[in-house]
Amino acid sequence: MIIMSGAIGAGKSNLTTFVSKHLGTEAFFEPVGDNPILPLFYKDPNHYAFLLQIYFLNKRFAMIKEAMTNDNNVLDRSIYEDSLFFHMNAEMGRCNEEEVKVYDDLLENMMEELPYAAHKKAPDLLVHIDIDITTMLAHIKKRGRDYEQIENDPTLRDYYINLLEHYTPWYEAYDASPKMTIDASQYDFVNSLEDRKIVLKSIDDKLLEIGKIDEDEYASLMLKLERMQLDD
């Protein structure tokens, strides 16, 4: 199982789609479009921060259990990032101490149950998408969700910068599985075929390195890359 990580607008959903198609497996996506709490959070984060993270945690746990039933499935967000978002909001005064304790206890219990519920202790690879604030804002602007736009709420710029700053120590400390980084500010894997091939090959290289695919599977994937078209 492969999991993605990265800030808002990093391109996790797109890369999840590309990797799952490349490997011939299923993609699992974070519930955003049908999330009734997310727009409320952007309007009143102090009131809805705790509820939003509980919602995500519940949906993510169910998604992980389903994804872990087969090999090579790809998730566009990891449960390991949930704590990053929640504790950052707590630092900003959006959650109180009791909510933090309830959340941390719940997450710990879920992680202890994961091997029994999903028959797997951890993912096989974390693919972290790194991005700078300029590229991040451009991506957010392009996808057009009103509640994410800094034009509608100028305070969001500081929130996004804060989020990026939190990801650096989070990624350095992550040790649940092998990990790798993709630079979304350097490689436009959404619009550039050559960049997409470079990114997918780097993931194939890592899977081979950690023993999750063999030489024959790797050769087959390299052939798929040679034949890839932009609409693949």
Active-site residue, selected from the candidate residues 71, 76, 214, 231: 76
Q: How confident is the model over 196-205, as pLDDT tens digits?
A: 999 999 999 9
Question: What does the alpha-carbon distance between residue 142 and residue 90 come to, in Å, rounded to a whole number?
Answer: 29
CATH of domain 2-227: 3.40.50.300
Asked if 183 is an active-site residue, the reply is no
Question: What does the alpha-carbon distance between residue 41 and residue 150 come to, in Å, rounded to a whole number?
Answer: 15
Q: Mean pLDDT, to the nearest integer, of 8-37? A: 88
**pTM reported for the whole predicted model:** 0.88
- What kind and span of H or E run contains 2? strand 2-5
Percent of the chain with pLDDT over 70: 93
pLDDT of residue 186: 95
Domain ranges within the chain, ordered by starting residue: 2-227
Question: What does the alpha-carbon distance between residue 170 and residue 232 come to, in Å, rounded to a whole number?
Answer: 32
Residue 4 has pLDDT above 90, yes or no: yes
Residue type, 72: N
Question: What does the alpha-carbon distance between residue 16 and residue 3 come to, in Å, rounded to a whole number?
Answer: 8
Count how many residues are written for the chain. 232
